[in-house]
Structure 1
Amino acid sequence: MSQSPATNNSVAETVKERMLRHDTFTQLLGLEVDAVAPGYCRLHFTVRPDMLNGFQALHGGVTFSAADSAFAFACNSHGRQSVGLSATIDYLEAGKLGDVITVEAREEGLKHKVGVYAIRLTNQHGTLLALFKGTAYRTSNEIL
């Protein structure tokens, strides 16, 4: 028997809270999780001076890390511990100081052992900055 959508959302929310308690890197980046659901996460952050590269654009490592965090929340949202198998990113536009970046992760496919996720990063004007694809291995470890 499958769980109700409300129960599934409760699991995703509980997993998010547990992850955030111990995720000091997400805290360091100032990422704020706006929404989670099974296979989904939306978060945002504001580009700070310490996130810029030598050309005063958002550093690619920050962009990748923010996408990776949304990927982690989305792939663990079902209550089974998942770890990244692979990740790729395409940088399309550079973020700038003061930009508010929204990172949205969506599950594209879920099997017993593997999940695939597409993550879009946009600025406050809706400009697409990057596309990230992550593949997760789903362990047999229950998070809750």
Structure 2
Amino acid sequence: MNEAIMEKVSADPFAKLLGIQIIEIEEGKAIVSLNIKENMLNFHGAVNGGVIFSLADVAFAIASNSYGQTAVGIHVTINYMKAGMFKDTLTATAEEVSKNPKLGLYRMTIRNQDGELLATADGMVYRKKEQFA
């Protein structure tokens, strides 16, 4: 992995705010994790859907920008299957499904520490001409 890419994606202020950790980066793939804290819960006592979406989105952003070419999200859909809970460790994996010079499609899966599937998401990026690494 290119050091400039790793430096760029590791500096994401929102990911840092949430406490998201980068586990793995390859071209077209990223794995990130997050330890769930009490302030990430909704009024039902489960992980807020926005937290799960944010974790998936960070993995998506890293995977789609892993080539050093600027890629910006243009559409994401998410499906929630199971609730995450306080003190869970959630892991999001983003994998490239399709890539061409202008568009990229990525599939994200979000699982808890027991490997249970909490959510899936699909995201599309537009690839700009600019290289950042």
- Give the paired residue count: 133
Q: Which amino acid aligns with 2:10?
A: L
1:40 equivalent in structure 2: 29
**Shift of the alpha carbon at 1:17?**
1.7
The percent identity for this pair of structures is 37
- CA separation in 1, counterparts of 2:7 and 2:26? 13
- CA separation in 2, counterparts of 1:102 and 1:14? 24
Q: CA RMSD in A?
A: 0.9
Unaligned stretches of 5+ in structure 1? Answer: 1-9
- CA separation in 1, counterparts of 2:4 and 2:94? 18
- CA separation in 1, counterparts of 2:132 and 2:21? 21
User: Is the partner of 1:121 in helix, strand or coil?
Assistant: strand
Mapping of residues 1-144 of structure 1, within 5 Å = 10-11=1-2, 13-21=3-11, 23-144=12-133
Q: Which amino acid aligns with 1:120?
A: T
Contact 2:70 2:128 in 1 (8 A): yes
How far does the alpha carbon of each residue in 1:36-94 deviate from its partner, in whole angstroms, 9 at most, with x for none?
00000001111100100000000000000110000000000011000001000000000
Unaligned stretches of 5+ in structure 2? Answer: none
- Larger helix proportion, structure 1 or 2? 1
User: Is the partner of 2:91 in helix, strand or coil?
Assistant: strand
Contact 2:10 2:22 in 1 (8 A): no
Give the TM-score normalised by structure 1.
0.90
Instruction: From the CA coordinates, give the structure whose radius of gyration is larger.
Output: 1
**Shift of the alpha carbon at 1:24?**
1.1
User: Is the partner of 2:47 in helix, strand or coil?
Assistant: coil
Give the TM-score normalised by structure 2.
0.97
Runs ≥4 residues deviating over 4 A: none
